Structure 1
Amino acid sequence: MAAEAIRAEGNDLYARGRYTQAINKYELYIELVTKEKGGLDRIVCGHSNRAQAYLQLRKYTKALEDVRKALELDPTHLKSLVRKAKALEGLKIYQDVVTIYKSLLQNFKDQLHDVHVKDFLRSLQDAERKDKMTRLGQYEELVDSYWDQPCPNGAPMMEEYVGPVELRRVERMDRGLFATKDLEPGDLLFVSNSIVTVRVPIAKGDIQISVESKSEAMHLVLDSLKRFVNHAFDNLQDFSQFQLLVQVDTLAGPYPTAPLSRDCPSMRYFTPVNALPPGLRNLMRPDLDHPTIRADFSHSTLMKVVERRQFTHWGNDHDELTGIYALPSLMNHSCTPNVTVTTMQNESVTKIFRACKSVKKGEELFYAYHNIFCPLEDRRAFYPTLCCTCARCKLEERLVAEVPALKSLEAQCSKFWEQKSSFSQLSPEERAKRRNQCIICIRLVEELLQKNSKLQILRTHEKDWIRATLIRFHRLLLDPALSLKDDALKEDQLSEMRLIFEAVRAMRTVNPGSDIALAMISEEYSRVVNQNSRKELEPHGLSDLFLTDKSVIRSDDTTQQAFNVCEKGSSRAPLPFEWSYCLWSTVSLSENNEDFKVVESIIMLVKVANYAMHEKPVLQIQVPFLAVSGNSEFHLL
């Protein structure tokens, strides 16, 4: 009876949330019943109870050890089987979780209440979805469900995935990510969740985060990182926690005199455990020799990680998110990137990385750390310590020195953009004047590219680089303070549309898949379509520009293209968060909208998304309130 009293004490401590003390009681209980030879069922109960306490402390490896001991004695012990599934889920070994839940539903269905069956089915489906994410990079099911029924609390949580990339050293002892196979636009590279994420408050009315807030953000991120590292050291038996230590250690580098294993550790340390072969899912002897184990994760070391690896995400009017990522932090920047990033607004602020250009095996992968559609001086101001040496930056640096008119235009572009917040306070006459100045500057850019001896010899894509640098002139035309009025002439509207489309073409050369490009084109198209009927605009060339221009739409059959987009079961890729906002705001219904306008807006947005993303259409979405019949007719639901 003494043993049962101790188990009761352990249960009481567990019920009060004192899990460590409960574990000590269960350990004593196991020792006593083992000595007393009190029956296998009591020993099984002790190990199973202790496993549950370990689960509450997120010590999944220890929990798994206990349930394995319990199942060695009683392979059919239901609670131990369920807790084994929970431990494996905590260790992110979803393949085994799927196997266990299938076995439970097949072999124990008669012993389960209906509520348990529903719970197990839900857990099975969740594990299967996560297994497909981590091993196969299949996110369509989760993303589709999100677009069908958008969650007001943000995007769903996503598991990490590592595809055809590897870490290598590059010049100056830096690291970079490289492609391990030939890539086409749209190919999934990897998916990363933040190691730590904190919300930083912004004072009301501030346009940018203040210096004080930045300092607060660094301390918040540092404190979170310390907690993560301490938890990892407390759970070194858990390989996923060991991975975290290696990642943080790598982000604190590079180390000029360190061994290669420290600067460029194996991709095994970045790959989700579930995607590793079974023999590599546990700590092994070589892991224990990794420099991380001997490293001192001091305050200064972690501060290096925070200072060098912060990512800032725009939040709402009250705060913004700041986080640290592993693999994304090791990819280098370029102002002509070959990788596009989709940010999902969930708790971990998931980032999805896809190739946006064709990439050869062995080529380095780059993405843009900041807005690259601005003058060189402004781009360098984003990260003063970062000096991009891509071909675009080198060319622009040379041309700005050789062509004074180009330098003057870039200065004017930056000046206008800085004054943007004050445009709403100008008189109507001053606004019109500023708008005309932007249009004049846009035309001057084209004139320079055609007539200046230094610029006219540039190749087509190099001219697009220059256009993209001065794209803010186009963006200012869409500013509410400077945009065309509702009663503007159709010729003026069409002229502006052509300017915006030319801007998008240039932006696409620099960075296919740019959210800024799609935001510009969708805003312009939405405004014009909502103000005018198609019949009114057709005589002015709208149909030619938007619906049959093959260089933009790349489709001979508008109806069939839309049908393919909306058809159930089509392959779909996740839209960036900013794009989803453009889509839903553009197609929002109002009493004054005619049905065909909404349909045309939807079709156009999808086509523009395809155009902006890639040479060939790879982005397809399903619009929840639009149905397509067998004869390709559209009906609003």
Structure 2
Amino acid sequence: MVFHTELMIRLARAPKSLSLGRGDTPDTDPDMTWLSTMIQKPQADHGFPSAAISALAPARIAKLRPESLARGRVLHGVLIADALMLEDSVQVLTTLRDSRGDEVLLAIKHAVASDATAEQVRAKYPRGARVAVKEPMLHKHHGSFISLDNPANVEVISYLSDEQLERYAGMAPAALRVEGNKLFQDGSFEAAAQAYALSAVKCEQEEERDRVLALSNQAESFFKLGRYEQCVDAASAALAVDPRHLKSLYRKALALLNLQCYEWSCRLLSNVLGVDEEIDQLHERCQKLAIQSKDISSIMADIHGFYRAWSEGEQAPLFPEVADNVCQVEVKKCEDQSKQRGRGLFATTNIKKGELVLTSNSAAFERGGNISVCNRNASIRFLDMAMKSPRAYKQIHSLASMAAGNEREVPAMELFQADWATPENWSSVSTDSSREALEGISVERVFETVSVASFNPTGPGPDENTQRLLYVGTWLIPSFINHCCVGNVCQRLFGTTVCYFATRDIQAGEELGHCYIIAGHPYRRTRLDFECACKKCELERQLDEDLAEVTGCYRDLAEANFEFRLKGETDIPGMVAKLEKVLATKLQEEEDRQCMRAVHWSLYLIYYQKLRRGNVVALPEGMVPAGEVIMEAIHRFSAGNLCSKWCLEMMAECARDKEAARRDGGGGAVWEAGERLRRQGHL
């Protein structure tokens, strides 16, 4: 859904000698002719649809054949009802009337998320708006209706009704701006942007102040809609008239910040520092993010400060705003094609254990509740992003190739890096955002992308035998990290920012791997929808038959109680003894035995807890490894995993060795603060 505001801006910049009537010469820009005639008099169809729509032949409701797609055709009409959302299906319903007066119910799927308000739904498809429906299909089931799976197939050509346009035609620019303000206050940001554009177009040469105010307000409307590229364009048009208009400077800089163009934003504000406190604060914020996007050590300083503040205070402080930093990684094809791995994320420099590898802010984030609802809402927000921004469209398309099975297509890293645009290249990298996206959006592809590329961890539910969804989150660059049960990075979530830390030394050119699920489960492989070829899984397959009884015991314990509390009469010492016997007879290397001990960490944990409490008789010396040995196994083969931190903490209690536990957490106050955060659900 779009309205061609760029054309409005062009007309606002045009010389006032340009004719505004129907008598324009053949040399007059046709785009501007349309705008001029739209201002003066409503037309039967005063819209200017996209290239995808303009290339289609017109259709009429009366000529649509039931259950047959009108290929190559477009239905133009006016919305004559207040749009409403069906909560169960998240469809938007409204009524369309074509030029012949025929009417049909319009059902638009995936147009808004389930948390959209009634006002937001009506503002997105306002009564009186002119729309174009691409390749409609008429259904006959309890009446006639057109159902659209893809909201991109409905273009809102004008958010203002014919009556509004006719009334606005006789208004002065200042009065038009007041009308735009009313629409803005009502939350009708698209209609407000259109009204402001009309105001800017009507300004005469001596009305420069009115033009600046109209374009600046239009920029604010676009910002509210998340259309940051268009916000930059509108604010730039205002600044072309008055280069020191502070509100336009601020709005443009804020839009650039949201587009991750930090250096451009800093330069823009540098000449007006000391004039306004909000501008100074925004400049400082942009400077900090610009440094963070290139220097990952500056982010680590903020993380350490966060932990220190937490360890010293009673309440958890807010995690600081951080920039995306992908300077140490790149997307490449995986060399080992025998494992059926397409693309992966690789280190471009040597990274030491414990160092920060990358940071990423979420592209979509839905908290808790039903996983299907969260996935659907995240997908709808992705779809909306793609229709608003050409850059977001390209980013999502790069992820979508995973869902399409085309994992050999390697995107350029410039697509994900900050400061991707400058004043010099802006016209080439920024286009009429929605139009580019409209040409190729596939709803199915976007939904598959969210399903494949998102994280959806669970946590303890309302009772001990249930779990609940914590969130569904999608991060762009981290989506390229492949699964590995013995990964070299671990994930930490701070708000909606995800940070990856090295769990061991990583060499330049080495692929990053992260365990998608809890690493310490012997039935872990059944939770994956692919065959993992890591060392841990290969050892498990080798010992499947020998450890069937032990694995079954572990599964029963896990399913009965997620936190492995000391319940039941299971012969834990017997299971531990059997496990150790199999490892001693079947595996020759101590490293392999340690790997399998890390998999069955809970059996050893419960054994030592029961032993300390006097609930079991100790196994003969030498039959079971010491607690320190088990902690070393977990530290080596499940480092950074959340369940491993629980285990290390409790094993240290059993072994009376807190210092050993702190090795994995970074030591001292950082470890203690991290554990306090975890217990209160912040990690």
Aligned with 2:381 (options 207, 227, 231):
227
Aligned positions of 1:383-532 closer than 5 A:
383=528, 385-401=529-545, 404=546, 406-420=547-561, 434=570, 437-450=571-584, 452=585, 454-455=586-587, 457-458=588-589, 460-477=590-607, 482=610, 484-485=612-613, 499-525=626-652
Separation (CA, whole Å) in 2 of partners of 1:284 and 1:296 = 19
Q: Structure 2: which 5+ residue stretches go unaligned?
A: 1-170, 463-467
CA positional deviation for 1:475: 3.3
- Residue equivalent to 2:149: none
Residues 286 and 173 from structure 1, CA distance in 2 versus in 1: closer, same or farther, beyond 3 angstroms?
farther
Given that 2:216 and 2:234 are in contact with CA atoms closer than 8 Å, whether structure 1 keeps it comes out as yes
Determine if the alignment matches structure 1 residue 5 to structure 2 residue 193. no
- Residue equivalent to 1:31: 201
Code of the aligned partner of 1:501: E
Separation (CA, whole Å) in 2 of partners of 1:120 and 1:508 = 48
Given that 1:343 and 1:351 are in contact with CA atoms closer than 8 Å, whether structure 2 keeps it comes out as yes
Identity of aligned residues (%): 20
Residues 281 and 381 from structure 1, CA distance in 2 versus in 1: closer, same or farther, beyond 3 angstroms?
farther
Q: Structure 1: which 5+ residue stretches go unaligned?
A: 202-212, 529-541, 555-560, 567-571, 586-637
CA positional deviation for 1:342: 1.4
Which digits, 9 at most, give the CA deviation of each residue in 1:498-527, with x for residues without a partner?
843222200122133333233223235458
Aligned with 2:324 (options 160, 181, 184):
160
Code of the aligned partner of 1:411: G
Given that 2:219 and 2:231 are in contact with CA atoms closer than 8 Å, whether structure 1 keeps it comes out as yes
Given that 1:438 and 1:473 are in contact with CA atoms closer than 8 Å, whether structure 2 keeps it comes out as yes
Given that 2:518 and 2:643 are in contact with CA atoms closer than 8 Å, whether structure 1 keeps it comes out as no
Given that 1:95 and 1:131 are in contact with CA atoms closer than 8 Å, whether structure 2 keeps it comes out as yes
CA positional deviation for 1:546: 5.7
Residues 228 and 577 from structure 1, CA distance in 2 versus in 1: closer, same or farther, beyond 3 angstroms?
farther
Separation (CA, whole Å) in 2 of partners of 1:294 and 1:232 = 11
Residues 247 and 60 from structure 1, CA distance in 2 versus in 1: closer, same or farther, beyond 3 angstroms?
same
CA positional deviation for 1:281: 6.8
- Residue equivalent to 1:270: 416
Separation (CA, whole Å) in 2 of partners of 1:145 and 1:382 = 37
What secondary structure is seen at the aligned counterpart in 1 of 2:352?
coil
Separation (CA, whole Å) in 1 of partners of 2:348 and 2:431 = 25
- Residue equivalent to 1:143: 303
What secondary structure is seen at the aligned counterpart in 1 of 2:492?
strand
Determine if the alignment matches structure 1 residue 54 to structure 2 residue 198. no
- Residue equivalent to 2:282: 123
Separation (CA, whole Å) in 2 of partners of 1:292 and 1:25 = 24
Separation (CA, whole Å) in 2 of partners of 1:422 and 1:359 = 32
Determine if the alignment matches structure 1 residue 311 to structure 2 residue 455. yes
Q: Which has the higher strand share?
A: 2
Which digits, 9 at most, give the CA deviation of each residue in 1:81-123, with x for residues without a partner?
22222222232222233344443333x2xxx5xxxx2x34443
Which digits, 9 at most, give the CA deviation of each residue in 1:580-601, with x for residues without a partner?
446899xxxxxxxxxxxxxxxx
- Residue equivalent to 2:527: 382
- Residue equivalent to 1:14: 184
Determine if the alignment matches structure 1 residue 367 to structure 2 residue 514. yes
Aligned with 1:329 (options 464, 467, 479):
479
CA positional deviation for 1:181: 2.7
Residues 31 and 477 from structure 1, CA distance in 2 versus in 1: closer, same or farther, beyond 3 angstroms?
same
Aligned positions of 1:164-183 closer than 5 A:
164-170=328-334, 171=337, 172=340, 174-183=342-351
- Residue equivalent to 1:354: 501
Separation (CA, whole Å) in 1 of partners of 2:672 and 2:252 = 37
Code of the aligned partner of 1:254: G
What secondary structure is seen at the aligned counterpart in 2 of 1:135?
coil
Determine if the alignment matches structure 1 residue 184 to structure 2 residue 340. no
Calculate the TM-score normalised by the size of structure 1.
0.66
Which digits, 9 at most, give the CA deviation of each residue in 1:29-87, with x for residues without a partner?
222223xx224333323322322222222222222222223223322222222222222
Residues 77 and 525 from structure 1, CA distance in 2 versus in 1: closer, same or farther, beyond 3 angstroms?
same
Given that 1:167 and 1:264 are in contact with CA atoms closer than 8 Å, whether structure 2 keeps it comes out as yes
Separation (CA, whole Å) in 1 of partners of 2:489 and 2:427 = 32
Code of the aligned partner of 1:135: K
Separation (CA, whole Å) in 1 of partners of 2:368 and 2:458 = 10
What secondary structure is seen at the aligned counterpart in 1 of 2:456?
strand
Residues 144 and 302 from structure 1, CA distance in 2 versus in 1: closer, same or farther, beyond 3 angstroms?
same
CA positional deviation for 1:297: 0.9
Residues 280 and 576 from structure 1, CA distance in 2 versus in 1: closer, same or farther, beyond 3 angstroms?
farther
Separation (CA, whole Å) in 1 of partners of 2:383 and 2:304 = 35
Given that 1:177 and 1:330 are in contact with CA atoms closer than 8 Å, whether structure 2 keeps it comes out as yes
Separation (CA, whole Å) in 1 of partners of 2:430 and 2:227 = 21
Separation (CA, whole Å) in 2 of partners of 1:135 and 1:281 = 21
Q: Which has the higher helix share?
A: 1
Separation (CA, whole Å) in 1 of partners of 2:195 and 2:249 = 22
Separation (CA, whole Å) in 1 of partners of 2:352 and 2:257 = 33
Separation (CA, whole Å) in 1 of partners of 2:602 and 2:506 = 29
- Residue equivalent to 2:491: 341
What secondary structure is seen at the aligned counterpart in 1 of 2:387?
helix
Separation (CA, whole Å) in 2 of partners of 1:580 and 1:276 = 41
Separation (CA, whole Å) in 2 of partners of 1:254 and 1:286 = 29
Aligned with 1:253 (options 387, 397, 404):
404
Residues 276 and 525 from structure 1, CA distance in 2 versus in 1: closer, same or farther, beyond 3 angstroms?
farther
Code of the aligned partner of 2:572: C
- Residue equivalent to 1:82: 250
Given that 2:378 and 2:450 are in contact with CA atoms closer than 8 Å, whether structure 1 keeps it comes out as no
Residues 445 and 20 from structure 1, CA distance in 2 versus in 1: closer, same or farther, beyond 3 angstroms?
closer
- Residue equivalent to 1:601: none
Separation (CA, whole Å) in 2 of partners of 1:295 and 1:310 = 22
CA positional deviation for 1:366: 1.1
Separation (CA, whole Å) in 2 of partners of 1:161 and 1:95 = 15
CA positional deviation for 1:388: 0.5
Residues 329 and 422 from structure 1, CA distance in 2 versus in 1: closer, same or farther, beyond 3 angstroms?
closer
Given that 2:652 and 2:658 are in contact with CA atoms closer than 8 Å, whether structure 1 keeps it comes out as no
Separation (CA, whole Å) in 2 of partners of 1:521 and 1:422 = 14
CA positional deviation for 1:254: 2.1
Instruction: Give the number of the structure with larger relative contact order, counting CA–CA contacts within 8 Å between residues 6 or more apart.
Output: 1
Given that 2:576 and 2:624 are in contact with CA atoms closer than 8 Å, whether structure 1 keeps it comes out as no
Report the RMSD for the aligned CA atoms in angstroms. 4.1
CA positional deviation for 1:12: 3.0
Given that 1:343 and 1:576 are in contact with CA atoms closer than 8 Å, whether structure 2 keeps it comes out as no
